[in-house]
Structures are given as structure tokens and as C-alpha cells.
Amino acid sequence: MAKLEEYKDGHYLWNYVPSMVGAVIFIILFFAATVFHVWRMFKTRTWFCIPFALGCLSEAIGYCARAASVNDTGTLGPYLVQSIFILIPPALFAASIYMTLGRIMRYVKGEHHSVIRINWLTKIFVLGDWLSFMVQGNAAGLLFKTSTMRIGQGIILAGLFIQIISFGCFFIVAVIFQLRMRKNPTRESYNVEASWERYLYMLYAVSVLILIRSIFRVVEYIQGQTGYSMKNEWTLYAFDSIPMVVVTVVFFIWYPSRIRIPPGGHVEDDSDGIQMRLDSESGERRRPKSTLFTFGIFGLLGAISRRWGR
């Protein structure tokens, strides 16, 4: 029978025995989301959605580790993996969300309606997202030890606030763009096959869900290890797991595969970081920025394996 076990020196990693049923349900849901998103990404060649697919996979890995912890609550490894891999996926989802906005602007040739220069728009948001991702991912490893727990919680809070601020700015930029486009629409906004506003509403919907989840996480870490959220598992599923599943479903249904640069349209800056292109001057192949998130995932896996092996 599963029971709460001491980690060491009177310190418990868990405040409760995690639910096996809950973990298995979300393993199935997120693995299914991973398969469907990877399939659609390859089918439509929408490489800017790589971070989103990685986010789905990260969630699945996190819940696998959570299931492994049910009968092993005193072992650090599974606890650390589930903590990190359930914490960081919204940052990965956000990367594809930010890149989608930049593509929408180019799609309708409405770059001049952006309050941030289009060449910098995606770079700024993805940079902020990457910073949030790295801060949260690296700080999660500090939570397992009593002496570093408060430091880890504080750093994670900083990463969550970066994420919330980024999404707040993203909302403002997207809404201003939409209002300006409605007031002074471009010719392309009438001619394009896909409804650009429909994709904007999709971005609003998934962004609100991620914001709700991020605010919940802020409250959770402010309350600390002895707070209500840390002691009651249902809060994780209600304000994190379910909203993130809905995010994957909404993004899949209104998948931004039809948002493509119009024929003959020149993109000055490949800031959505997808295409591997050849630099005409140096002849060196540039690496897509989206693969930074892939390296980040493997970097975290390496850090976990080193810490687990101690």
C-alpha cells in the first residue's frame, strides 16, 4: 500500500501520497496530445510549433514521474522530474504562441500596426520566455532540500512573474494590433484564406488559460510547503493539469498551419526562428531558435541525472 515516506533528516518531499489514477489519466492525455501535435506539425511543416510539441511531451514525462512517485514518495528522482517537467511546459507553449502572433502580422502584411517593430517582436517575447523557462527549470532542483527550499521557491516565483509580465505585454500588443487592423485594414486581411482574427482569438484563449495557471503557481509558491495548495492535490489538477490539457486541445483545433507568408512576400527577419537558412555572405547554416528549447530540455535532463546520481 502506498504511504508517505521520509526523504532524509526528517524532511518529506510530499505532503500527500499522489493519486495514481490522476497521474495515469494525464499521462494518457498528454502523450496523446504529443502524438497529435507532432503528427500535425510534420504534416503541415509548421516548425515554429516545435516548442509546443515539446511542452506536451514534457507534461507527459512529468506525470509519468508523478505516477512513479506514488509507491516511492521518499525518493528524490521521480519527485524532481515531476516538479520540473510539470512546471516548465507553459514556457514552451508560450514560445509557439508568441511566434504565431508574429506570423499573423506578416500574414496580413500588418507589420506597421505593431507597437513593437516586427523585427524585434518575436525576439523580445521569446527571449523573455526563454529566461522564464531557464529560471524555473534550474530553480526547481533547489526545492528538495530544506536549506535551499526558500531560495528555490523565490527563484521560481521570479520566473513565474517574468512569464506573467510577458503574457501581459503580449496581450497588449495583440489587442492594439487587432484594433488598428480593424480601423485601417490591409488589403491582404480581406484576401487571405484563413481568418486572422480567429487565430488571434485562439491565442487569447490559450494565453488566458496559461495566465490562470501561472497565477495559481505564484499563489502556491507564496503559500509555501505548508500552504493549502501544496497540501491538497486537487488544486494542481484543477488549476494546472486541466487548463494545460485544454490549451493543447484548443491549439490543435485552431492549429495555425494556414498562417503562411504570402507568395512574393519577403520576410526581413526570420525571428520566428523556424527555417534553417543559408547566410549568403558567410555560407554558414544558422540554427533555428526553436531548437534552443530542445537543448534546454536535454540540459535539464542532464542536470537531473547528475543530481539524482549523488
Domain parsing of the chain, residue ranges: 20-259
Contact by Cβ (8 Å): 293, 56: no
- pLDDT tens track of the chain, all 310 residues? 678 888 777 778 888 999 999 999 999 999 999 999 999 999 999 999 999 999 999 999 999 999 999 998 888 889 889 988 998 999 999 999 999 999 999 999 888 999 988 888 888 888 888 888 888 877 766 766 667 777 888 888 888 898 899 889 999 999 999 999 999 988 888 876 668 899 999 999 999 999 999 999 999 988 887 889 989 999 999 999 999 999 999 999 999 998 876 554 444 334 344 333 333 333 334 444 444 444 455 455 444 444 444 4
Mean pLDDT of the chain: 82
What are the two backbone dihedrals, phi and then psi, of residue 2, each rounded to the nearest 5 degrees? -65, 135
How many C-beta atoms lie closer than 10 Å to residue 21's C-beta?
Answer: 9
Contact by Cβ (8 Å): 171, 91: no
Contact by Cβ (8 Å): 206, 97: yes
Question: 20-259 adopts what CATH topology?
Answer: Rhopdopsin 7-helix transmembrane proteins (1.20.1070)
Q: What is the pLDDT of residue 123?
A: 85
Nearest 5°: the CA angle 232, 137, 86 is 40
**pLDDT tens readout for residues 192-231:** 666 889 999 999 999 999 999 999 999 998 888 788 998 9
